[in-house]
Each structure stands twice: as structure tokens, then as C-alpha cells.
Structure 1
């Protein structure tokens, strides 16, 4: 991808990542699969999860491909972790999105999967023990007309990202803050929120709210109770990762309502 050598950080991936629904039929090459596997090994060690890459299983997406929701979807990441573990679900969103951003830098297209796959069929092709479950999935592959796509300059890809779907405003994503607090918010918080606005979420609901406390300098992320649902914890993890990358150094606690401490 032209210009990608200068844009190898995950924050740059945030600026060009879009949800891809149409894929070329070309298989993910072994070299790219090895790159992804190395990324997965490192991420799984950090996350204490078992996120897996599964290739060449179009049956998993047969209905979605037939309906036109996807085109040529055949590969996926299965986010696997312990059953009934809310923190693990959140970690799944956080760390699997790191893999998504890495895949973006490799020139691959991705899209978080909510209901548009056969989850039982997906489970047949990966390792899920009796004490584990699949939290969610990510379809992955070469974007349609990918040779044209990868020839685009970084600036062209950022413009595609900026205009590909509507997003909530800074005010909407921080609606629990007062106008005075928003006006006083430091630039690193605004940078974090700019990255949050570009985060994927289930059905594009963007259900995570952020607030900065001017007295303590801490940030809290919480699930909007009006938009809570089965994938909200996954979305919480994704949004926290985007914020952390946008804000720079700092660290989150796990859980709904946990704090981010800027370092």
C-alpha cells in the first residue's frame, strides 16, 4: 500500500480502517496468515484469550453472502474465551481490535460480525472447549478490487474513512459531561475521543460514553444504559482501545465505569 511504510502505527490504522463487506475471492496468502498468527500469539498472551484465524470457510457466511450483506466472505477471526466472563468479553473487544488494526496495516479488510454468520458452523472450525464460548467474530480478507485499494495513498484512505458512515459527535459521546468540563478538556482527551468516533461497534450504535473529570484528570468509560445489549461489553473494549491509542500513554481498568489514568 503506497505510503504505508511511513504509517505503521496502530493510530494510523484507526484513521483508515473501515468496515468491509465486499471481498475479492483471493485467498489470504500463507505469508499474510503467518503475520496474523504472530500477532495473534502475542495478543492472546496479553489478553489471556484464544482469538483464532480461520481461513477458507465460506459456508459460515453462506446466508450473508447469498443475501448480499457480504460478498465472498470466507475467513474470520473467532474471539474465544471463558464462558460467562464479562471482563473476558471486554478484553476480547479490546485485544481483537488490536488484531483488526494490525490487519488493516497489512492491507486486509475486516468487519466485526454480529449476526451475519452461522456461529455454530464457525465453532466447528476452531478450538472451543466446554468451558469456553465464541464471543464475536471478525470477517477478514482482501477487499474487493484490493489491488486498486492498496494502491491508494494514505490521504485517500483517510478520506474514505472520514466519509464512509455517519458518526456521533464529540458532544454526543461525552453527553454526561457539562459544557464547562468539555470546554476545559485537555487536547489528549479530545484526541482520544476523535479515535473513539472512528471505532466500530455492533450495528454502528456507538454505545459507549466517556467523561473527563477536571478535578482528578481521570476518564471514565461506561455503557449507555439506553443502548446496552449482548455486544456492549465487546464494544466497550473496542472503544477503550481506540481512546487509549488516540490519547497516547495511559492505561484503563477493566469493567463498565472503569477509569483511564493518563501517564
Structure 2
């Protein structure tokens, strides 16, 4: 499948089997992680541990079982911590979709006490790990999540939503498929009056800026990155 098809096929999975990821898929994931780090200026790390790739860290929401592989989303904090969260959301979701494209299951997870990780990953000076992605073969298939209607996810700066161009609607339809904390989708996309510029903003909610980064990637893929510019 291609990355567009992967958006529709991706559903959160928290329970995994013992089946290892084959070498070809691991090599492809390593290559994708290296590319994301180069393009996003991050320090993302692919973790493999036969006992617990999440390092025993408590999860913010949901119980994960038998996670032997994860993608630790690590980056350097600047003056604006929201910026790192959004960047992690964007590049992390790109990696999650790549994993799905390779026939794997994934699940976003926010961990606490990531400093007590028994060497699973390395968090450097000035770095932070806002989230991780469990990867592997699911013990059972994930389920589609509920979504807000496109009219709640996006708007025109002025005018009726019915007048929105097709590419904007297609972007919002892709956003409907984006995972978000507790399924709340705390973000909004607005097409400005020039008919080309889109403003994406986080709303109040848990991990809202991580969710916004994920949704921005989905919007780009659905709308076509050459059709618009970010505000």
C-alpha cells in the first residue's frame, strides 16, 4: 500500500504478539527514522527489547501489552515547548504510516518517567521525549475511531463551508483519519480569504500540539502539498 492508503488502514493497537519484525521491514524503518531525523532536526530512536520496549514507564492513557518495538520520539526543546510537540506529532505520524505501509500495527503512547528507562533510549542534554509509537504485529486488529464532521474540523475565514474548494475538503477528510489523544481532535484548519493559505491551530485539549502535528501531516497528504501554503 502507499502512504495515502496507510492513513485509512491505520488503527491504534495496544496488544502485540511475540512475532518479530522481519529484517527487511526493520531496515526500512531504520532508514525512515534516519530521514525523519535529518528532515525534522530530531533525535528519534528505534527501540527493540524482547521484554518491554517501553521501559516500564507508566502510560498516560491505555494499557499496552507485549510491546517489543517502539519508536521513541525525542527532540531538543527550544523556547517554545509546543513547537517540539507539534514536530514530534508530524514526523512521528509519518513514521507510523510508514510502519503500516510495511504491514505492521502501531499505537501512539505518551509515557511518564522516561528518564527511568533502563537504557531503552537516550535522552540528551536539553532533549525531551513527548511521545512514542508502539510497533509490531497486533494480537487483534485495531478499530476505526470516531471523528468530528469536516465542518467542525475546518472553516473558511469568511463565507460558507459549502464554498470550500475540493482540495480543502479532501485535506479535512484525511484529518478525520488522524489519531488524537482520547479521540478529541483538538485542532482546527481555516482557509484564509486568499483561497490558498491555511491556518492550523491547536485547541484546548490533552497533548493538543502533538495532535496538531499529526493532523497537519494528514491534511498535507489529503489536500496535496502543492495546493496550499501554511499560514
**Normalising to structure 1: TM-score of the pair?**
0.76
Q: 1:78 aligns with which of 72, 76, 83?
A: 72
For residues 164-175 of structure 1, the aligned pairs below 5 Å read 164-174=144-154
User: Runs of 5+ in structure 1 lacking a partner?
Assistant: 1-6, 150-159
Residue 62 of structure 1: CA displacement? 5.0
Whether the 8 Å contact between 1:240 and 1:252 is mirrored in structure 2 is: no
User: Residues 94 and 30 from structure 1, CA distance in 2 versus in 1: closer, same or farther, beyond 3 angstroms?
Assistant: same
Please name the residue that 1:58 is paired with: 52
Please name the residue that 1:106 is paired with: 102
Residue 86 of structure 1: CA displacement? 3.3
For residues 95-174 of structure 1, the aligned pairs below 5 Å read 95-115=91-111, 119-122=114-117, 124-144=119-139, 164-174=144-154
User: Residues 47 and 252 from structure 1, CA distance in 2 versus in 1: closer, same or farther, beyond 3 angstroms?
Assistant: farther
User: Runs of 5+ in structure 2 lacking a partner?
Assistant: none
CA distance in 2, matches of 1:133, 1:34: 25
Residue 114 of structure 1: CA displacement? 2.1
Residue 131 of structure 1: CA displacement? 1.8
Residue 16 of structure 1: CA displacement? 0.7
Return the structure number with greater helix share: 1
Write the deviation string for residues 231-259 of structure 1: whole angstroms up to 9, x where unpaired: 22211111100000000133887xxxx52
Whether the 8 Å contact between 2:44 and 2:74 is mirrored in structure 1 is: yes
Residue 122 of structure 1: CA displacement? 3.8
CA-based RMSD of the aligned residues comes to 2.7
User: Residues 134 and 63 from structure 1, CA distance in 2 versus in 1: closer, same or farther, beyond 3 angstroms?
Assistant: closer
Please name the residue that 2:220 is paired with: 244
Please name the residue that 1:94 is paired with: 90
CA distance in 2, matches of 1:137, 1:22: 15
CA distance in 2, matches of 1:209, 1:185: 15
CA distance in 2, matches of 1:186, 1:83: 37
User: Residues 63 and 125 from structure 1, CA distance in 2 versus in 1: closer, same or farther, beyond 3 angstroms?
Assistant: closer
Write the deviation string for residues 61-94 of structure 1: whole angstroms up to 9, x where unpaired: 65879xx822322321111111244323322111
